[in-house]
Amino acid sequence: MPFRSVSVVRFHFGGYDPGIQTTDVAITLGMDSLDPTAIVDVAERVLAGVRNDLCTWTGLFSDTAKALSSAAALVGTGTHAISVHIGTTTGDIAYLGTAFLLRQPRSMNIRELVREEAVFGMGGVWTRGVVLYSQTQATGSATGGAVDGTASSTAGGTYNVHVMQVNTGTLNVIWEHSATAGGTGVYTVLASANITTVTGTVFAVGSGTSIFQFVRHRHTNTVATGTFDIAAGFSRA
């Protein structure tokens, strides 16, 4: 029973990695309930309403570049990629989505640390997926491990990739899939992008397009001395 310490959890929003300042994160897959009880019923009845997924985050204020405190400029700027990785190894469970940063209230009290919270509005629902890649201070190029989805699917899927530190150069992030096993398979590109600044991006494949059984993350770095912090996750629809 692989229970998890919170120390392996990674939270990413846009191009930010607030791990060093985070104290609490909670994700909720939620549903409103409606009451269709009629006079002939001897007990209350319930019906499902609409989804109302949530994300709450609290932490300590930090002015480092990767801190969520620096993301204040994102408030009200539309949806951004949001990912919660419950582990840092390829294949660990991840919850992925898009979210608005609605507000970021800070509180300051004498003799205490400056505290901060972030309130997100989900741009849809959380999808359950897996960690494809998680690496800080990555240099050069690398290929992540393959995740076995047990079968090809045409239901679609998403790839959330966050690049949280860019020290010169261009990082080409590549989402690949293969119909044959693991690292020896012949991989083709599902999506790719050149990244030159901190960013969080969601690539989506709609229903009707095949995502093969094996999926992986790969990246190439155009400058040998450049370093990047990268986190990528994948979920099938």
Partner 1 sequence: MPFFKVASNTVVLVDDASGTARALTAFIDTVGGIGKQTAQLDVTSFADSAERIIAGIEESAEVTLSGPWSDSGTGVDAYLPALVGTIQTIAVSPAGTGAGARKITGEFLCLSYKVNMAVKGQVTWESRHKLDGTLNGTGTN
What does the binding site for partner 1 look like in residue numbers (CB under 8 A)? 1-6, 9, 11, 22-31, 33, 35, 37, 41-48, 51, 84, 86-87, 92-93, 95, 126, 128
Closer residue to partner 1 in complex, CB, 129/144: 129
State the nearest-atom distance from the C-beta of 115 to partner 1, in Å.
12
State the nearest-atom distance from the C-beta of 45 to partner 1, in Å.
6
Closer residue to partner 1 in complex, CB, 28/168: 28
**What is the DSSP pairing of strand 199-205 with strand 157-167?**
antiparallel
Closer residue to partner 1 in complex, CB, 124/140: 124
* Rounded CA separation 176/188 (Å): 5
Closer residue to partner 1 in complex, CB, 35/63: 35
State the nearest-atom distance from the C-beta of 28 to partner 1, in Å.
4
State the nearest-atom distance from the C-beta of 103 to partner 1, in Å.
21
Q: What are the structure tokens assigned to 229, written together?
A: 């912090």
Q: Residue 194: is it exposed, middle or buried by C-beta count within 10 angstroms (0-12/13-18/19+)?
A: exposed
State the nearest-atom distance from the C-beta of 235 to partner 1, in Å.
11
* Rounded CA separation 135/118 (Å): 24
Closer residue to partner 1 in complex, CB, 7/197: 7
Please calculate the CA angle 150-207-27 and round it to the nearest 5 degrees: 75
Dihedral angle computed from the Cα positions of residues 65, 70, 74 and 75, in that order, rounded to the nearest 10 degrees: 170
